[in-house]
Structure formats: C-alpha cells, structure tokens
Structure 1
Amino acid sequence: MTEEIQFYLSDAEESMQKAVNHTNAELTKIRAGKASPSMVEDLRVDYYGTATPISQVANIIAVDARTLMIKPWEKNMLGEINKAIKNSDLGLNPQQEADGVRLNIPALTQERRRELVKQVKNETESGKISIRNIRKDVNEALRKLQKEGTAEDAVRDAEAKVQKMTDANIVKIDELLSKKEAEIMTV
C-alpha cells in the first residue's frame, strides 16, 4: 500500500475518532436529571466586555445529585453569572447567595425525558453524518489517486478499510446513544 493511501487511512481514522469524541462531549451537556458541572461550564458571561465561559471565571461544584454551586473568583461576577443562567435555555432558576450562585436541578418529568431523548438522537445522528462525510471525502481522494495511477486493488482494499472504520465508529456512537438514553429514562 502506498504512503498516500496510508496517509488517507490514518487521517480518516483520526477524523472519525474526533467526531465520536465531539458527539460524546455534546451528549455530556444534555442533563439527565443529575447535577453536572458540564451543564453550565460553557455558558458565556460578560467578563469585562468579553464573552467568557463560566468555567473560566468560577468554580462549578456538584454539591449533591440535584444541586450545583457556582463560586466566582471575583464577587462582582455574581450578577453576570446569574443573568447568564436566566438567559440560557436551561430552564433553571439561579439563587444568588453571598459567595456564589446555587442551582437546584428539578426532577425531570416523563415528557421532558422524551424531549431529551429526541435531542440525544439528533446529536448522535449529527455524529453519524460527520463520520459518513469523512468516509465520502476519503473515498473520493482514493479514487483520485486511482486516476493518477495507483493500483486499483490497493484503492479497493483501502476503501474496504475505510468502510470498516466507518462501521466501527457508527457502532461507538450507537453505544453512546443507548447509554445516554438509559441514563435519561432512569427515574
């Protein structure tokens, strides 16, 4: 197998792994009834005129399964953090205290659980689409190599390997989906 084909294969493998990791990261942001710092760490607050993630201006601690505590490093950030949470689509009511902001995470209703499962399915479908697009791009590049004179058998073998990678990574995303779905639907 030529170096170019090997380059495309390793690039495809790396890109597909990044797609799986991205999907996993997006799924951790979807709350499953438990308080998790990842729910709010990417929310943006106005920090001296710059939109900055909360995780860069405060500590976020899961006090218990239903409570998050956000303790800013500067007391003047309390109001900004409070405002950012109220303006977000999380549907949470922040309670401002002397040294931080407390978030009580309400228990999920069955209807809300179904909505979250739909959101999870959309997110995993996006991950699968990314993987399929990577496969398409790599296969096009391999066919271009064949037109430039690379052996047809080598290209066909490489395309088969790309398909195996695609299948394996889609299975990983399906596993993420079933795990997150079970987590959300568990009362």
Structure 2
Amino acid sequence: MAENFELDLDDLKRRMDGAMAALKTEFHTLRTGRAAATMVDPITVDAYGQITPLNQVGTINVPEPRMLTINVWDKSLINKVEKAIRESGLGINPVVDGTVIRLPIPELNEERRREMTKIAAQYSESARVAVRNVRRDGMDILKKAKNDGLSEDDFKIWSDEVQTLTDEYIASIDSTLEAKQAEIMQV
C-alpha cells in the first residue's frame, strides 16, 4: 500500500474551500452601514406552512446605498415578512409601504463598528479552526500510512504539501478578514 500511496489533496482542498465559503457567507450577513441584498439572505419567513428564505417570497433591491427594498409578491405575507425582519437581529426597522417593505440602513456608530469587527474576527477564527481540522485529518491519514510502511521521505513530502495548503488557506482567511474589517470601519 505504502509504495504507491497517494493522499487525496483535492478532497482536503474541497473541504478547506468549504470553510472559506462559509466564512464569506457569514461576512455577507454583517452590516457595514451600506445596503447589500445579501444582508437578508439568512432571514426565513413562515410562508404557506413552510419555512421559506426571504428571497423566495419577494424581490430584493438596493435602490440607494442606505436603502434595501423588498417587493413582497403575496400581500398576505407582508406582516410575516416584516416580523421575520424585526426578529432577525439585523437591527433594522422595516417600513411597510403597500406591498413594498423598505429597510433604511442606519449609520453605524464607532462602538457598533468595533463590535462588528470583533464578530468578523470570531467568524474568521472559526474558519481557521475548520481549516486546521482538515489539516489534522490529512496528517492522521499520513500517520496511518507511515505505520503501514510509507517511507520517512514520502511522509515528509506529503506532510509539507498538507502544511503548505493549510498555510495558503489561513493566509486567505486573514486577508479576507482584513478586507472586511476595513470595509466595516469605513465611514
């Protein structure tokens, strides 16, 4: 087995990509003082007895930098959509205007911006932990292969590959965090 051992680096990459994708999704939910349609992505509405994503009950638009509008397709759902937004923890008060719900995005004060950067750092740390867990899984596979006869040289080569991959993803997470924190602190 150890003679032609091949570690599935593509699988490790795929799993690390998953950690990056989850981080970017979490970052989209952070308010930066500018309107973005992705802010309401995690919000779900109890529509027709089903828990439905907000973007499946109305059209979400960004008509100006500090305004989000949701054009609800079914009038009977307006109150449910408004309630879901209020309870979402976004900190935005929806304004109902017929079938359109307006979400004015308030300016973030300095304290709230600092709070948001800390939350972004927590999301990044979770992504780093996920990447390190994938690294650990890869190293466990290598250790098992080494016990099954993988040469010391091959073990070193493969473990360096896994570490290089891990370092690339950690650096990517760090740069994504820096960019997000800069965006949050921008007035």
Band the TM-score falls in, shorter-chain normalisation: over 0.9
When residues 2 and 84 of structure 1 are mapped into structure 2, their CA distance, relative to the original with a 3 A threshold, is: farther
Q: CA RMSD in A?
A: 1.4
When residues 148 and 37 of structure 1 are mapped into structure 2, their CA distance, relative to the original with a 3 A threshold, is: same
* Alpha-carbon distance in 1 for matches of 2:57, 2:128: 34
* Alpha-carbon distance in 1 for matches of 2:94, 2:128: 35
Q: How does 1:161-172 map onto structure 2 within 5 Å?
A: 161-172=161-172
TM-score (normalizing by structure 2): 0.95
Q: Which position in structure 2 is the counterpart of 1:103?
A: 103
When residues 140 and 68 of structure 1 are mapped into structure 2, their CA distance, relative to the original with a 3 A threshold, is: same
* Alpha-carbon distance in 2 for matches of 1:27, 1:92: 17
Q: Which position in structure 1 is the counterpart of 2:116?
A: 116
Q: Which position in structure 1 is the counterpart of 2:78?
A: 78
Q: Which position in structure 2 is the counterpart of 1:5?
A: 6
Q: Which position in structure 1 is the counterpart of 2:155?
A: 155
* Alpha-carbon distance in 2 for matches of 1:15, 1:3: 24
Q: Which position in structure 2 is the counterpart of 1:56?
A: 56
Say if 2:60 is the partner of 1:90: no
Instruction: State the one-letter code of the partner of 1:144.
Output: K
Confirm or deny: 8 A CA contact 1:37 1:60 kept in the other structure.
yes
Instruction: State the one-letter code of the partner of 2:7.
Output: Q
TM-score (normalizing by structure 1): 0.95
Q: Which position in structure 1 is the counterpart of 2:140?
A: 140
Confirm or deny: 8 A CA contact 2:29 2:41 kept in the other structure.
no
* Alpha-carbon distance in 2 for matches of 1:151, 1:56: 55
Runs of 4+ in 1 over 3 A off after TM superposition: 1-4
* Cα drift, residue 5 of structure 1: 2.5
* Alpha-carbon distance in 2 for matches of 1:21, 1:92: 26
* Cα drift, residue 58 of structure 1: 1.1
Instruction: State the one-letter code of the partner of 1:5.
Output: E
Instruction: State the one-letter code of the partner of 2:72.
Output: P
Structure 2 unmatched ranges of 5 or more = none
* Cα drift, residue 155 of structure 1: 1.8
Q: Which position in structure 1 is the counterpart of 2:130?
A: 130
